[in-house]
Amino acid sequence: MQVYKKILVTVDCSPVDEAILKHVTALALQNSAAVYLLHVVHSHTLDQNRVLRENSEACLSAHQEALRSKGIETHIIIRSGEPDLEILDEIDKEVYDLIAMATHGHGFLGDLLFGSVSDKLKHRTQVPLLLIKSEAS
């Protein structure tokens, strides 16, 4: 039985990506699922946006190549803006069976001060959410 057909994976192009990609790789292979890698560029200037976008393209291409080498259909999505809002917008525009993301593990105080994308998502979406705490966090 194929539980997941389309998996949206949010990546931030940091070492925490490896934790979630490890789990998603196994799920995608078990379910013959397509993986959609989403990165949101969060910048304050046009120059910063350009540099961050170039870096994210390289990062996502590397992740895509690794997944495709295992036979997993993989797509790249790059957006600009506030991460939680852009992720929610993507979920509203497309139908996904699972949203997967690694958490940074700020802890209660860090989440209170900085907000937590995963916390906002779990309260605003009906799509199942897989959260993996990264050892790198």
Mean pLDDT across 104-121: 53
Helix axes 83-93, 117-124, angle to 10 degrees: 30
**CA–CA separation, 102 and 46 (whole Å):** 28
The string of pLDDT tens digits covering residues 88-99 is 999 999 999 999
**CA–CA separation, 81 and 49 (whole Å):** 10
Model confidence at 110: pLDDT above 50:
no
Q: Count Cβ atoms within 10 A of the Cβ of residue 96 and give its class: 0-12 exposed, 13-18 middle, 19 or more buried.
A: buried
Model confidence at 122: pLDDT above 80:
no
- Please give the pLDDT value at position 93: 94
Shortest CA distance to 36 belongs to which of 118, 96, 93? 96
What's the CA dihedral at 7, 102, 84, 124 to 10 degrees? 70
Mean pLDDT across 125-136: 79
Tokens 């992740």 sit at which residue? Answer: 63
Please provide residue 100's backbone torsions phi and psi, each rounded to the nearest 5 degrees.
-125, 135
Domains and CATH numbers, the chain: 6-133 (3.40.50.620)
* 2-11, 23-32, 59-68, 100-109: least confidently modelled range: 100-109
